[in-house]
A and B are shown apart, each in its own frame.
Chain A
């Protein structure tokens, strides 16, 4: 019955959604930002520690669905070691993939599993919320970010 569900709820999403590797507040961090989708209730706070112009570590605290938590965790793996400019570009390409469901870009390979949300327009914002929070943290933007 759920064979096709693997499109969205692939093992990688279920795994990162239930056991996120980076789901913790960093002990030392130099930027943080909150993301909140009040209509659906997903919430995430992203913490980053920078070193030599790159993101050296990223942790997050989240309450939300498997998609938003898996997305935050895969995001952490994808951005550690990158510069803010590279991350901004990746965030844009990720948002495009979440909407279209297609990606040929090699940088997006580790995030591909989340392309499945494209078939569920109401769930795209779950995948992009952590990225909105990360973008806000890097820009030292005040207030709370949202992807709704």
Chain B
């Protein structure tokens, strides 16, 4: 057998791209299982940002000098990168934000107050991050928009019958739902959600903060109206995110924040707005972060979603099997279609104690309500521990988690 097969996914090489993974925590190997909160960064992202600061930096969109023009070009590449990542039809459909949270606030403000009419309703699900709940509550109070909550099943899947019941009266203007739960790891059936919502005349916004890290997203094929994600969970820097919006919708919407960069012309009493997407981008953008996010997107594209998804699916199955075999450990959520975000509880031990004890062994997990307090209450829980995976996570790290949990369980017997 002389055939040379190139490994589809070389985990050792990938891990070498993330220097932080070789850190020691209290003398132990750093086992980072908190990528769902924020992912680690590959060297290419750091180098791109450093290179910009050393060789190519000035403010963007305004200077007539060489350095500003080159920086504008480098920064604006992030819009093309995001458009390609999401398969948007046009780069003008990508609004650069500082976070997913800003994207939701933008849509709640500009679409919610500018397009929706008092008396219409917005639907979210029972398993939303606070970022996709609180802005709609604020809209409800300020603009008389009803907020409806689509139920989930006890398995942690969206209850499609329950969703349809909320749409029947035709008053729903927007369905805003997570693409992947940051607590339960559930992927929602976005194709069916969109078909159903459109059938009743509602637009659809998806929270892609978790999903876009693990799965290919095609906004055109799915006919998505709005899609939000954040850069720092996608191996990029903090302080940058994006909103995809169909051009026709973005054009109907008034600006979100006022200031520089979003105007056509300004007099003392009146201003006109820049064209889409710039009218939603007030102030100097996150220039270096945009350059870093471009590098992160290219990094993910070079590895490829097929390879990432296959690797993470195998990890998730292994983790569910290992955790499921530990008496006293309960995995929260049993969705059929799920990814590498796993919440669990341990009998007789509080999630914070579990997290501190895991940390003692170098293992980083999140514990608490995961910015989804109503979901916790719906599940009858105060808090859970959560292990979440990235493209650099290994099977051995999951074994370390499971082995340490066995010890912690003894400790709390």
Asked if A1 lies at the interface with its beta carbon under 8 angstroms from chain B, I say yes
Asked if B41 lies at the interface with its beta carbon under 8 angstroms from chain A, I say no
* B347-374 with Cβ < 8 A to chain A: 348-353, 356-357, 359-361, 368-369
* B368-389 with Cβ < 8 A to chain A: 368-369, 376, 382-383
The proximity string for B residues 94-132 relative to A, scoring 1 for CB distances below 8 Å and 0 otherwise, is 000000000000000000000000000000000000000
Task: Specify which of B348, B360, B361 is in contact with A18 (CB 8 Å cutoff).
Answer: B348
Asked if A64 lies at the interface with its beta carbon under 8 angstroms from chain B, I say yes
Q: A63-B382, A64-B350, A65-B350 are in contact. Are A39 and B356 (CB under 8 A)?
A: no
Q: Taking the nearest CB of chain A, how far is it from the CB of B24, in angstroms?
A: 15
Chain B residues in 8 Å Cβ range of A142: none
Q: Taking the nearest CB of chain B, how far is it from the CB of A1, in angstroms?
A: 6
- How many residues of B are in contact with the other chain, CB < 8 A? 20
Chain B residues in 8 Å Cβ range of A40: 352, 368, 383
Chain B residues in 8 Å Cβ range of A28: none
Stretch from A4-12, A46-54, A106-114 at the B interface: A4-12
Chain A residues in 8 Å Cβ range of B404: 1
- Give the complex CA separation of A40 and B376 in angstroms: 12
- How many residues of A are in contact with the other chain, CB < 8 A? 20
Q: Taking the nearest CB of chain B, how far is it from the CB of A2, in angstroms?
A: 6
Asked if B407 lies at the interface with its beta carbon under 8 angstroms from chain A, I say yes
The proximity string for A residues 2-25 relative to B, scoring 1 for CB distances below 8 Å and 0 otherwise, is 101100110000100010000000
- Give the complex CA separation of A90 and B11 in angstroms: 53
* B206-253 with Cβ < 8 A to chain A: none
- Give the complex CA separation of A141 and B220 in angstroms: 57
Chain A residues in 8 Å Cβ range of B353: 9, 65-67
- Give the complex CA separation of A9 and B355 in angstroms: 13
- Give the complex CA separation of A65 and B361 in angstroms: 19
| Contact call A39/B368, Cβ cutoff below 8 A | yes
Task: Specify which of B352, B356, B361, B383 is in contact with A1 (CB 8 Å cutoff).
Answer: B361
- Give the complex CA separation of A64 and B357 in angstroms: 16
| Contact call B356/A8, Cβ cutoff below 8 A | yes
| Contact call B352/A9, Cβ cutoff below 8 A | no
Known pairs A8-B356, A66-B350; list 9 more (Cβ under 8 Å): A2-B407, A9-B353, A14-B412, A40-B352, A40-B383, A63-B382, A65-B352, A67-B353, A123-B352
Enumerate chain B interface residues (CB-CB to A < 8 A): 348-353, 356-357, 359-361, 368-369, 376, 382-383, 404, 407, 411-412
10 intermolecular pairs with C-beta atoms under 8 Å apart:
A5-B357, A5-B360, A9-B357, A9-B411, A14-B412, A18-B412, A40-B368, A41-B368, A65-B351, A67-B352
Enumerate chain A interface residues (CB-CB to B < 8 A): 1-2, 4-5, 8-9, 14, 18, 39-42, 63-67, 120, 123, 126
Q: Which 10 A-B pairs have the closest CB atoms?
A: A65-B350, A65-B352, A41-B382, A41-B383, A66-B353, A65-B353, A5-B360, A40-B368, A41-B369, A1-B407
